[in-house]
Amino acid sequence: MREELSKEELLNLPYMNSNFSVEERVEDLLSRLTLKEKFKLSAGSWMWYTKPIRRLGIKSFAMHDGPHGVRVDIQGKTQATYFPSAICRASTWNPKLSEKFGIAIAQEVRDVGAQMLLAPGINIHRTPMCGRTFEYQTEDPYLNKKLVIPVVKGIQSQRIAACVKHFICNNQEINRFTINAEVSERALQEIYFPAFKAAVQEADAWSIMSSYNKINGIYGSEHHHLLREILMKKWGFIGFVVSDWNATDLTSSTESCINAGLSLEMPMQKKYLPIKMKNAFDEGKFTEEILNDNIKRLLRVMFLTGLFDDESTLPQGSRNTKEHQNLACEIAEEGLVLLKNEGNLLPLNMEKLSKIAVIGPNANLQTYLGGGSSTNFPPYEITPLKGLQTKCEGKIEITDTPANADVALIFAGLKHIKGMDAEGYDKDIFKLPQEQIDLIEKTVDENSNTIVIMVAGSPVSMIEWMEKVPVVMYAWYGGMEVGNALSALIFGEVNPSGKLPITFPKYLSDSPAHVSERTYPGDENVYYDEGIFVGYRYFDSKNIEPLFPFGYGLSYTTFVYENLRLDGEKISGDELVTITVDIINSGDCSGAEVVQLYIQDIVSSIERPIKELKGFKKIKLKPGEKSNVMFTIGKRDLSFFDENSRSWKTEEGEFNILIGSSSRDIRLKCKIEYIN
């Protein structure tokens, strides 16, 4: 065993000198590690940490959950800001808010002394029954990538590593440890890869977490093709791959994980037990060159996050600040989605009301607990009831009796328990519990001015009662300030601008993953027979009317779309075309609109979606104000993945440019022609 170096000796080594480049520091430190020390660095300990190498002054690298607020322990001794769920943040369709969120949550990670956040989760919404739908962003690959890029950039701007998860096709919780996702190469390339690829190539993500499940017969943590060939060689990923917690349990061998490119096994050594690593190495099952590459990737991120640097030179952390709490409220305000507003019952006029009823199981429900890795311990949580009590104090009486109230607000929905929205389990049923349906129907009979506000992280069937109530709003899990955000929207201080990042089906059988048990939940295998036809792509192709379409959300004002124009009707090669459209707020109050651009290939040699999202802009306008919205598209936006040539292909011909307020509300259309 080599002697431990003194503090003075350590400080004089090149890898301890921040004046050297990251790569120079990595190479210097790697050259000083023994084989045994490399084995030691390959697996974690104490749940959230890597093992220290005291001889060389290598401290433990700390990583913590979660996607909606940093969590250090399970007792709640360390409190942190509880931000809205990822699906709520995605409903803002606002990349700037995603970047602000990334910065804020990284500051909280820094404040608790860690170097990496185990987030964001960006698995595609394949089924509304997935227990972690609330923790992921969307069903659409374009929206997914456009929102993950600013999150990762925001986190890493504070020299905290983002760990993008779960690579890949971790789209259900049932049998998640053993299920084999049988998925086509085209579906991987067009649906499941884009956000991960963008996180690597456009945001320079420093870590990727491998998934529990198998992908086409091989577990994610030992998938040489996906990790070594696609992620690292093809996409140029220079960070490190970490296993999901205990995801290596069922992998075939120590060497398969090492050779695939798994740098770090968490939370403890199993496949990467030193004796197993030594035996495999001695038997020639992996080379030190391959091991060195894995270790270099981990060391690189340690240096990028400042693990070896003077803490005074690093970005300063902060936690539970008013700024972060205000951001949580802002995300909730923009993420809540108004689904129905018959008779313009909302916004409520405080001057014209004397009594409102606030009822339902979720009216005073705190949502920070449960949900697995999404569990948070905030210093407080403003529930819907608390928010309304504060807003109405001294002005409007709040009662639990709908019959004699001016308006009745029912807070229905789900919570973070087994069989609802929680890690480790998929939902038991698609509809609300029967007692909630009974409550809605009873309340409507007593009070025609009934507003249903859904607190849930995934689509829920509303077909049984939707026609009976005039107003429905989706509040998701809106974080620690959701009560204040809801009150602001209900009383018109804020105009709703959230849009659905996922299709709401009328019936579960309408969803592409629910054609048969083969496609969900599967047994040993789950077959992605729908291919690229996920979400609205499937509903469009089968001409199925959803309950609410992708991209849908109402406002208290109205918007006129006009004057669609192109700067060229034909493009070829790598040329770009600029598309502009005028949007006018034609209503009586200020509001924000998400202008969406879809592309339709009119004639194709293979089956393609009816339309695909390829652009969006969120704009805020005062009454009567007009804005000119601009999009730029090119060859790649018109292409599809050709499995025969294993490459992206753009065919000559005409394409429709569709501009709308949702995937089913197309306001304007024009054509362009692509010439090879």
Catalytic residue numbers, as ranges: 244
Which of 242, 273, 284, 245 minimizes the C-alpha distance to 260?
242
Cβ-in-10-Å burial (0-12, 13-18, 19+) of 546 comes to buried
Distance (Å, rounded) from C-alpha 642 to C-alpha 623? 47
**Do residues 481 and 333 touch, judged by C-beta distance below 8 A?**
no
Beta-carbon contacts of residue 275 (< 8 Å; ≥ 6 apart): none
**Do residues 483 and 387 touch, judged by C-beta distance below 8 A?**
yes
Assigned token pair, 127: 């089924």
Alpha helices in 33-160 (DSSP H): 35-41, 86-90, 95-111, 141-156
Helix (H, G, I), strand (E, B) or coil at 561: strand
**Residue whose entry in the numeric block shows the structure tokens 């807070």:** 411
Q: Is the dihedral of CA 392, 397, 400, 403 positive or negative?
A: negative
DSSP line for 313-354: GSPPP--S-HHHHHHHHHHHHHH-EEEEEGGG-PSP-GGG-S
**Do residues 282 and 288 touch, judged by C-beta distance below 8 A?**
no
C-alpha distance from residue 216 to each of 182, 277, 528, 531 (Å) = 5, 26, 11, 14
Cβ-in-10-Å burial (0-12, 13-18, 19+) of 644 comes to exposed
Assigned token pair, 271: 């496949």
**Do residues 345 and 372 touch, judged by C-beta distance below 8 A?**
no
Instruction: List the Cα angle 305/308/312 in 5-degree steps.
Output: 80
Distance (Å, rounded) from C-alpha 353 to C-alpha 545? 37
Helix (H, G, I), strand (E, B) or coil at 469: coil
Which of 214, 225, 305 minimizes the C-alpha distance to 261?
225
Give residue 62's identity as a one-letter amino acid code: A
Where are the extended beta strands (E) located within 308-449?
337-341, 355-359, 397-399, 407-413
Which of 480, 304, 451, 524 minimizes the C-alpha distance to 382?
480
Alpha helices in 409-475 (DSSP H): 434-446
Distance (Å, rounded) from C-alpha 171 to C-alpha 530? 14
Assigned token pair, 140: 């659409």
Alpha helices in 33-140 (DSSP H): 35-41, 86-90, 95-111
Instruction: List the Cα angle 321/326/332 in 5-degree steps.
Output: 135
Distance (Å, rounded) from C-alpha 30 to C-alpha 292? 8
Beta-carbon contacts of residue 393 (< 8 Å; ≥ 6 apart): none
**Do residues 606 and 573 touch, judged by C-beta distance below 8 A?**
no
Distance (Å, rounded) from C-alpha 108 to C-alpha 612? 37
Instruction: List the Cα angle 631/599/657 in 5-degree steps.
Output: 65
Distance (Å, rounded) from C-alpha 311 to C-alpha 298? 20
